[in-house]
Amino acid sequence: MTITFRIPKVIFILFILSIVSCKSEKKETLPVEKPLIQAVNYAKGFAIEKLGSGVTILKITSPWPNAESAFTYALVPKDKQATITLNKDAYDAIVSVPVERLVVTSTTHIPALEALKVLDKLVGFPDTKYVSSEKTRRRIDSGSIKELGNNESINTEMLIELNPEVVVGFGISNENSIYETIKRANIPVVYNGDWTEETPLGKAEWIKFFAPFFQKEGLADSIFSNIQRSYDEAKDLAKTANTRPTVISGAMYKDVWYLPGGKSWAAQFLQDANAHYLWKNTSETGSLSLSWEKVLEKGQQADFWIGPAQFIDYQNMQETSEHYAQFDAFKNKQVFTFANTKGATGGLLYYELAPQRPDLVLKDLIHILHPELLPKHQPFFFKPLN
Alpha carbons 307 and 290: distance in angstroms, whole number: 16
pLDDT in tens, 163-186: 999 999 988 877 788 999 999 999
Which pLDDT score is estimated for 152?
A: 81
Which architecture characterizes domain 241-384 according to CATH? 3-Layer(aba) Sandwich (3.40)
3-36 confidence digits (pLDDT tens) = 333 444 333 333 333 433 443 334 434 455 677 8
Residues whose CB falls within 8 Å of the CB of residue 323, separated by 6 or more in sequence, listed in order: 252, 292, 296
Has residue 336 got a pLDDT over 60? yes
What whole-number distance in Å separates Cα of residue 201 and Cα of residue 233? 13
Mean pLDDT to the nearest integer, 104-122: 97
Amino acid 33: pLDDT: 63
Q: Based on the number of CB atoms within 10 Å of its own CB, is 242 exposed (0-12), middle (13-18) or buried (19 or more)?
A: exposed
Three-state DSSP class for residue 178: helix
Name residues whose C-beta falls within 8 Å of residue 14's C-beta, 6 or more positions apart in sequence: none
Selected from 3.30.70.1890, 3.40.50.1980, 3.40.50.1820, 3.30.1120.10, the CATH number assigned to the domain covering 35-226 reads 3.40.50.1980
Q: pLDDT tens for residues 182-198?
A: 999 999 999 999 999 99
Report CA dihedral (263, 264, 269, 273) to the nearest 10 degrees: -30
Amino acid at 129: K
CA dist 93 and 57 (Å) reads 10
pLDDT of 346 reads 92
SS3 260: strand
Residue 299: pLDDT over 90 = yes
More confident residue, 82 or 191: 191
Average pLDDT over the chain, rounded to whole? 90
Mean per-residue pLDDT for 147-161?
93
What's the average model confidence in pLDDT over 277-292? 95
pTM of the model: 0.88
User: If you average pLDDT over residues 357-382, what whole number do you get?
Assistant: 97
Positions of E strands within the chain = 36-37, 46-50, 56-60, 71-77, 93-97, 102-104, 122-125, 146-147, 149-150, 153-154, 166-169, 189-191, 246-249, 251-253, 256-260, 276-277, 287-290, 304-306, 335-337, 383-384
Tell me, what's the pLDDT at 82? Answer: 87
State pLDDT tens for residues 209-265.
999 999 999 999 999 999 999 999 999 999 999 999 999 999 999 889 999 999 999
Residue 309's pLDDT is 93
Q: Give the domain ranges of the chain.
A: 1-32, 35-226, 241-384
Rounded to 10 degrees, what is the CA torsion of 38, 43, 46, 51?
A: 0
pLDDT attached to residue 32: 55
Is-same-fold flag (35-226; 241-384)?
yes
Mean pLDDT of 302-311: 96
Write the pLDDT tens digit of every residue in 32-71: 567 788 889 999 999 999 998 899 999 999 999 888 889 9
Q: Is the pLDDT of residue 321 over 70?
A: yes
